[in-house]
Amino acid sequence: MPLKTGPRNLITDVAGLSIGNAADATIKSGTTVILCDEPATAAVQVLGGAPGTRETDLLEPHNTVETINALVLSGGSAFGLDAASGVQAALREKRIGFKVGAQRIPIVPAAILFDLINGGDKDWGLYPPYRELGYEAVQTASRDFALGSAGAGTGALVTGLKGGLGSASSILPSGATMGALVAVNALGSVTVGRSRHFWAAPFEIGNEFGGLGLPHPLPADAADIKTKFKEAATDTNTTIGVIATDLQLTKAQAKRLAIAAHDGFTRAIWPSHTPFDGDLVFALATGTAGRAPDIGEFIELCAAAASTMARAVARGVFAATAAPNDLFPVWNARP
């Protein structure tokens, strides 16, 4: 039975999650926060060679903390890790966090992408704006949110095109829900050669990113390795995402789900997981379905993680919008 999308075709079709975006148009950068209504089981898998993270060690299955309150995806390279402090401040105001005595400590792992060379003015003064952007993103959190040039995808670029923030959802035959969220800023290309056709086309549901399918025949340059900049290609990249389900998972199962979701990067970006991408996927299990998967359903869940993530990657680039001083055009402008 083919997969179908949830009602929003967003990660928030997974019950128990909301998303907030905040951005600064002058610097061409922003932050996205994933808020959990209740603490959720989480894990992470890093397969890129240049990651930037905060509080990811605690997500390993052998470590003590079982659940988290929020996740942050941010632009700004290492400066962007400050966004998690803003999110923590907002959650602390609400008395949300891991209880230690009389204190509440919001658990907010974070990951960043490099968008410092994208046409924006990064002369922000003594302190970068990401802490405030993180705080603002919490205030805007909702089940509905913008894709494309929004939040952590505001200043994202891929080879030859603007990147963006993408999301998608899938309903499995069992009724379980899978959702993906991704900030696409890859060194590689999301389209086949120089065409408008997305590598993720085999997984498209309806016309969610143009409905073009794969080109036939494949263009002669389909397998060529193209990168974002001919010079200074290093340190200007990274695709970071979240895969989520409403099923109950252990931390070890969530880790396996994050690993499987990386296959979505591989199916949507050529090349991916390079030494100069910090490619990372967080996994979340809200448990709102009230049950755990059996082994057969878990296999289907992992497959859906890959296809849903691939669709989210394409949707992020598809939805990008033009802005002053852009270095690359948007997908809609490609002939």
Q: What pLDDT score was predicted for residue 226?
A: 84
What is the per-residue pLDDT for 230? 63
1 in a domain, yes or no?
Answer: no
pLDDT 10s digit of each residue in the chain, 335 long? 689 999 999 999 999 999 999 999 999 999 999 999 999 999 999 999 999 999 999 999 999 999 999 999 999 999 999 999 999 999 999 999 998 999 999 999 999 999 999 999 999 999 999 999 999 999 999 999 999 999 999 999 999 999 999 999 999 999 999 999 999 999 999 999 999 999 999 999 999 999 999 999 999 999 998 888 765 455 578 999 999 999 999 999 999 999 999 999 999 999 999 998 999 999 999 999 999 999 999 999 999 999 999 999 999 999 999 999 999 999 999 98
Supply the pLDDT for residue 235. Answer: 58
CATH number at residue 228: 3.60.70.12
**Residue 84 is assigned to a structural domain of this protein:** yes
> What is the C-alpha to C-alpha distance for residues 123 and 160, in angstroms, rounded to an integer?
25
Predicted local confidence at residue 167, as pLDDT? 98
**Is 182 in contact with 165 (CB distance < 8 Å)?**
yes
Calpha distance 4→146 (Å, rounded): 21
Strand, helix or coil at 258?
helix
* Residue span of the structural domain in which 39 resides: 11-333
Q: Is residue 25 situated within a structural domain?
A: yes
Residues 6+ apart with CB under 8 A from 318: 148, 164, 166, 198, 208, 209, 210, 331
Place of tokens 């903390």: 65
Residue with tokens 């891991």: 98
Question: For residue 128, is it within any domain?
Answer: yes
Written as one letter, the residue type at 62 is H
Greatest CA span in the chain, whole angstroms?
65
Q: Is residue 6 part of a domain?
A: no
Q: Is 5 part of any domain?
A: no
199 Cβ neighbours under 8 A, 6+ residues apart: 189, 190, 191, 192, 267, 268, 269, 270, 310, 314
Non-local CB neighbours of 252 within 8 Å, separated by 6+ positions: 43, 61
Q: Is residue 271 part of a domain?
A: yes
Count of CB atoms situated within 10 Å of the CB of 175: 11
SS3 at position 158: strand
Reading the block at residue 209, the tokens are: 């990113």
* pLDDT the model gives residue 231: 53
- Asked if residue 2 belongs to a domain, the reply is no
Q: How many domains does the chain have?
A: 1
Q: Give the separation between CA 317 and CA 219, rounded to whole angstroms.
A: 21
